[in-house]
Chains A and B, each alone.
Chain A
Amino acid sequence: EAQLVQSGAEVKKAGESLRISCKSSAYSFNTDWIAWMRQTPGKGLEWMGIIYPGDSDTRYSPSFKGQVTFSVDKSTKTAYVQWTSLQASDTAIYYCARRIVGSSGWFTSWFDPWGQGTLVTVSP
């Protein structure tokens, strides 16, 4: 059964850098896109973007472009999202999820499975 396991909770200060991880197992890591989502009480669940591990092709949501960077390590089947300078507004739960392509192609995609989530808390 495909599984994504994320790294543990982080507590940081504004201005610090951070990288969180998402390790895959039991499926072909190189050929399935991985998405990142952010969840907050105020804005709900937001799509941050997506990365293709095979060639690191990356698409960012306009809201997150320039704010985060996605990467992968194919040797360890792990995806990452990193920040160079955190802000208090980055406080959230972050999820990774595998993209599943529907019968009609790209625009019928959904996400399954999801990682368990990583809580990131940033103090001012």
Chain B
Amino acid sequence: GQNIDQPTEMTATEGAIVQINCTYQTSGFNGLFWYQQHAGEAPTFLSYNVLDGLEEKGRFSSFLSRSKGYSYLLLKELQMKDSASYLCAVPGAGNNRKLIWGLGTSLAVNP
């Protein structure tokens, strides 16, 4: 089957670094997405990893290990506006281009 696990909640301090983990099980692998979702708004795309390693994009970086079925999102120099839910997703099996979504990690950034 296909499954995604991520922590439900995390708390961090403004200016700090936080790592949000995601583990997945899929019948075939075709990349992993991270989205950010502020309360009451739509998810917005953050990153897509298909190869192993770290991809950096400004304050946000995403890491993938296909052999371990593991990814993390690294947020540096945290700002209050980073308080949001972070969703991990992987494409489902087959050719229907569906995404399998994790439940999301709610990050609270405190001053």
Binding partners A and B: no
Instruction: Give me the interface of A with B, judged by CB distance under 8 Å.
Output: none
Instruction: Give me the interface of B with A, judged by CB distance under 8 Å.
Output: none
